[in-house]
Structure 1
Amino acid sequence: MGRRWERIFCLAITLMAFLGCTTNEARLLNLAPETSSRETLDQLPPGTFLEDLDLGGIQLQEAQEKVRSWSKDKLEENLYLVYNETEILLTPVELGITLDFEKTWEEIQRNTGQRSTSILTLDYLKANQTLQEKLSDLTRSAVDATFKIENDQFKITPASSGEAIDVDAILNELKEASVTTLPHRIPLTRVELPAATTTEALEALAFNGVIGEYTTQYNVQDKNRSANLLEAAKKMDKTVLKPGDTFSFNDTIGPRTAETGFKDAYIVINNEYVKGIGGGICQVSSTLYNAALLANLSIVERHPHAVVVAYIPIGQDATVNYPNLDLKLLNDTQSYVYLRTKAEAGKLTIKIYGKKTGAKVRFEKEIEKELNYHTVRRIDPDLLPGAVVQQQNGSKGFIMKTWKIVTDAKGKETKQLLSRDTYAPTHRILKIGAD
């Protein structure tokens, strides 16, 4: 029994001695990692580089200042843009190139003991503005093609291309660079600057002849009516419509007043011819309407007269009244449209110029119904008793259908109902002397 306790006691002493030794060694072993950790937090280990900048063994704050100073010096070095014998001097800073310090420092910390690459940012707006200013002497602007109309001919002044330095190529070379890989000399390349409006584009839009023409006759002895007709025709003359434009007769001619140059002449009101400002203008709109139909332009708005008028075939007239009744035409062709008016010796002619397509237009009509006129008798105290004077002839009214038939250059026909118009009869008016 005594020997047994002796062995137990010796074993306990041996275990305690072993545990004591291990504890001391552990304290000694833990000392080195704690010291190494403090050094890591305070300075960068040897072998830490930012490109060609050695940061090994340097305290962190000093390393940061060193990175900033190093990048500042590098980004203020001269950079030359070279074209033939021309050299243009500037610096990366002028182009808006700066060091992205936060991302660069993160890169250094991820690669301690190794070589890291700097990260730059490029201000594209500032770079573009600076380059445009610096390269302005090497830039030639493009000149758009233009046209003018002389003697009813479409004449084009050709476009010319411009030249400029390829700024995008410069920016592409700079945007992927780091501080030490920024180029010091950049050869410049030129790019062509096409005109916004090319010669070919204008040639495609040019008119090459008359595509619609119509003539009506007027009485030159009716001075006021003729003056109104001439004034309206003059206001409309030489109108140019580009593809997609809509022509408004009322917008072009404007209000019919004495102040705008119009006079009193006969107009139709309530089936009677009476004096009114601007009489005769409807002959201009009706002549234009027919020229537009023959030119195969689209009609946006058109109104028939209340009664049949003598100067144009029934179903082919177009009345206007400012501002509520208008004649509107759409240039739905692929070229410019040009209007010419000519009024002389009792003839009003309107020509529409455009690009010829070989299409031809004709009309077909059908009288759906005839409407008889009425005789109206009015007492006139200035006449002798029983005397009868005819003040206005009576004329029939009609309900009329009109079609437009278009034959294209290949002979294909298209038939379109233009209108179904109702024309009231004009009263036969008799003046009778009182008994």
Structure 2
Amino acid sequence: MLQRISRTQFLSVLLLMIIQTVVISGTALYLSGALKEQTQQKSMYQQTVTVGGISIGGLNAEEAEAKIEKVLGEVQKKGTLQIMMEKQSFPIPLKDIQIKYNVPSSLREAQRTSEELTGVWGMWKKWRGTSPPPHLPLYVTFNEEKLTAIINEIARNVNRPAEPARASVDGTSIFILPEKAGYVVDIPGTISAIREQLQEEVQIGRASLVVEKDIPQITKESLKDIKVMLADYSTPIASTPNRLFNAEQAAKLLNGVVLLPGQTFSFFEKAGPFTEAKGYISTSIQNDEDAQDGVMGGAIQVASTLYIAAAKSGLSIIERHNNVRPIASIPLGYDAFVRDKEVDLRFVNRFKQPVYMYAEVKDTQLRVALFGAKAIANGSIEVKEENKIAPETIVRSDKSLGPGQEKIIRRGKEGVRVKVFLTHSNEKGIPKRELLSDDYYKPLHNIVAFGPIPENMKNKAQQQTPNPPESEPSVAPEPSQDKASNSTDKQQEQPSNSQKKGNVYTF
């Protein structure tokens, strides 16, 4: 009896366990979508799933593929991919970049995603916040090399350098014009953006050109304090075409330069080197044995004009060299000779605000003006002539001349030493006078040719001929330690008397 009861209870428990297993399994199958999939193949993809921006929710594989292929056919019919930049559009023919879509692989990925979004597994992932995104890419390939070449061509039309803020000058007035941002196409970034667009939104048929903006350092905001003219200076330019051209070239390179507070300006760095490769034309400066590099003719006048404007404006001159001899277009002591980094014109902006440089050649007149925040009392320049040095006379034998005949080969010019003083008034109106430079300009020696000297006259001529002159001063000496804007100590380079008589030397 007891065995029968035990067997009955065992069968009941076993039956109950079987029923529970069937119920739980059926429920799981239903919730997971597997049962529904077996009974209804039409709703293979979860309702929120999209591929390449195309909704395939509630469709089976065949229906989804047909829908995607239809959209791709419409895209291919348009034939182009539009690359957009602001209001500009650059069309790219799809056939040129050989676009190919892999629809089957994309749908297989969509199926896996649908399974993870439905049933018990989907509920579990949703509860944990790990559900996969329902918006899937449409797998696409294209010829990246050809696309890169096309984007490079677009970039050549789009790229532009940044333009700093500049000024419009009218006499002594200045008006600041805003800067212009530059554009540089990010080619790898653009290709990535195109790939993403083709995968995510295939129907749109356009993608953005990825550009990097280049904001210039000098902006209208940074120049807002420049309101008044600090000083200016003008010099006439000779009508010699090459000299005029060189002056215009140097002025063009100088115009618009902004000198920030604490910044040092170098004329050679900005306007040099004075070569034909830089845009200059050869022209002579001095018609004698001390002729300096003729290519820089005209540019030196711009440096000299800038030098005086800078000195008058209160900028600190830290390096300046005078020419070997006076030049016609610049007063004595006003010139600034520049050759290279070792012989340069340099000054520092010690103001708290930037300084704007304006340079222009107009009607054979060169003008340089400096503008800033606050004009100090315009400096005045005084040139004091210390002494003149008479030229020597060099006599040369010329057998083409008859005995006793003479011919003037070159007429000399006097040398001179000058001191230049700069007077400024401080904020209280008290004038301050300081030595700006101490300059020495060599004399240009006379050269005279004579015919053969008779034998009976040679001994007498040799007795009257003094020793030849010592070596002449260097062309562009370095500034002294005490005054960087001066040439070196001139006291050792010139006679002490106020007017030395010229000697005659025979060679």
Q: TM-score, normalised by structure 1?
A: 0.51
Q: Specify the alignment match of 2:229 in structure 1.
A: 210
Equivalent residue in structure 2 for 1:363, among 375, 381, 384: 381
Measure, in 2, the Cα distance between the counterparts of 1:396 and 1:426.
6
Q: Specify the alignment match of 2:430 in structure 1.
A: 412
The answer on whether the counterparts of 2:168 and 2:176 sit within 8 Å (CA) in structure 1 is no
The structure that is strand-richer by fraction is 1
The answer on whether the counterparts of 1:394 and 1:426 sit within 8 Å (CA) in structure 2 is yes
Measure, in 2, the Cα distance between the counterparts of 1:224 and 1:156.
32
Q: How does 1:272-421 map to 2 (within 5 A)?
A: 272-273=290-291, 276-378=294-396, 386=405, 388-391=407-410, 393-421=411-439
**Amino acid corresponding to residue 151 of structure 1 in structure 2:** S
Structure 2 vs 1, CA of residues 150 and 346 (structure 1 numbering), >3 Å: closer, same or farther?
Answer: closer
Question: Alpha-carbon deviation of 1:431?
Answer: 5.6
Equivalent residue in structure 1 for 2:270, among 252, 265, 287: 252
Measure, in 1, the Cα distance between the counterparts of 2:362 and 2:397.
41
Question: Alpha-carbon deviation of 1:429?
Answer: 3.4
The CA deviation string for residues 71-125 of structure 1, in whole angstroms up to 9 with x for no partner, is xxxxxxxxxxxxxxxxxxxxxxxxxxxxxxxxxxxxxxxxxxxxxxxxxxxxxxx
The answer on whether the counterparts of 1:271 and 1:307 sit within 8 Å (CA) in structure 2 is no
The answer on whether the counterparts of 1:361 and 1:407 sit within 8 Å (CA) in structure 2 is yes
Measure, in 2, the Cα distance between the counterparts of 1:382 and 1:243.
65
% same residue: 31
Unaligned runs of 5+ in 1: 1-145, 158-196
The answer on whether the counterparts of 1:301 and 1:326 sit within 8 Å (CA) in structure 2 is yes
Q: Secondary structure at the match of 2:379?
A: strand
Structure 1 residue 148 corresponds to structure 2 residue 176 = no
Question: Alpha-carbon deviation of 1:277?
Answer: 2.2
Measure, in 1, the Cα distance between the counterparts of 2:358 and 2:289.
33
**Amino acid corresponding to residue 258 of structure 1 in structure 2:** E
Pick the structure with greater CA Rg.
1
The answer on whether the counterparts of 1:362 and 1:404 sit within 8 Å (CA) in structure 2 is yes
Measure, in 1, the Cα distance between the counterparts of 2:247 and 2:220.
39
The CA deviation string for residues 384-421 of structure 1, in whole angstroms up to 9 with x for no partner, is 99462443x42221222211110235321111111111
Measure, in 2, the Cα distance between the counterparts of 1:200 and 1:259.
33
Question: Alpha-carbon deviation of 1:201?
Answer: 8.3
Measure, in 1, the Cα distance between the counterparts of 2:168 and 2:314.
24
The answer on whether the counterparts of 1:339 and 1:351 sit within 8 Å (CA) in structure 2 is yes
The answer on whether the counterparts of 2:228 and 2:375 sit within 8 Å (CA) in structure 1 is no
Structure 2 vs 1, CA of residues 275 and 361 (structure 1 numbering), >3 Å: closer, same or farther?
Answer: closer
The answer on whether the counterparts of 1:360 and 1:408 sit within 8 Å (CA) in structure 2 is no
Q: Specify the alignment match of 1:235 in structure 2.
A: 253
CA RMSD, 1 decimal: 3.3
The answer on whether the counterparts of 1:271 and 1:427 sit within 8 Å (CA) in structure 2 is no
**Amino acid corresponding to residue 208 of structure 1 in structure 2:** K
Structure 1 residue 425 corresponds to structure 2 residue 447 = no
The answer on whether the counterparts of 2:421 and 2:433 sit within 8 Å (CA) in structure 1 is yes
**Amino acid corresponding to residue 312 of structure 1 in structure 2:** I
Measure, in 2, the Cα distance between the counterparts of 1:149 and 1:360.
24
Q: Secondary structure at the match of 1:398?
A: strand
**Amino acid corresponding to residue 306 of structure 1 in structure 2:** V
The CA deviation string for residues 198-231 of structure 1, in whole angstroms up to 9 with x for no partner, is x99857x6111211111111211x2222222221
Question: Alpha-carbon deviation of 1:308?
Answer: 1.8
Measure, in 2, the Cα distance between the counterparts of 1:211 and 1:278.
28
Q: TM-score, normalised by structure 2?
A: 0.44
**Amino acid corresponding to residue 168 of structure 2 in structure 1:** N
Measure, in 1, the Cα distance between the counterparts of 2:450 and 2:342.
37
The answer on whether the counterparts of 2:283 and 2:297 sit within 8 Å (CA) in structure 1 is yes
Structure 2 vs 1, CA of residues 269 and 320 (structure 1 numbering), >3 Å: closer, same or farther?
Answer: farther
Structure 2 vs 1, CA of residues 409 and 251 (structure 1 numbering), >3 Å: closer, same or farther?
Answer: same
The CA deviation string for residues 130-174 of structure 1, in whole angstroms up to 9 with x for no partner, is xxxxxxxxxxxxxxxx983342445488xxxxxxxxxxxxxxxxx
Q: Secondary structure at the match of 1:360?
A: coil
Q: Specify the alignment match of 1:63 in structure 2.
A: none
Structure 2 vs 1, CA of residues 259 and 433 (structure 1 numbering), >3 Å: closer, same or farther?
Answer: farther
Measure, in 1, the Cα distance between the counterparts of 2:452 and 2:361.
45
The answer on whether the counterparts of 1:379 and 1:432 sit within 8 Å (CA) in structure 2 is yes
**Amino acid corresponding to residue 235 of structure 1 in structure 2:** L
Structure 2 vs 1, CA of residues 306 and 296 (structure 1 numbering), >3 Å: closer, same or farther?
Answer: same
Structure 2 vs 1, CA of residues 270 and 253 (structure 1 numbering), >3 Å: closer, same or farther?
Answer: same
Aligned residues: 248
The answer on whether the counterparts of 1:282 and 1:320 sit within 8 Å (CA) in structure 2 is yes
Measure, in 2, the Cα distance between the counterparts of 1:147 and 1:255.
23
Measure, in 2, the Cα distance between the counterparts of 1:408 and 1:254.
35
**Amino acid corresponding to residue 339 of structure 2 in structure 1:** N
Structure 2 vs 1, CA of residues 328 and 265 (structure 1 numbering), >3 Å: closer, same or farther?
Answer: same
Measure, in 2, the Cα distance between the counterparts of 1:218 and 1:340.
17
Q: Specify the alignment match of 2:188 in structure 1.
A: none
Question: Alpha-carbon deviation of 1:379?
Answer: 5.7
The answer on whether the counterparts of 2:168 and 2:177 sit within 8 Å (CA) in structure 1 is no
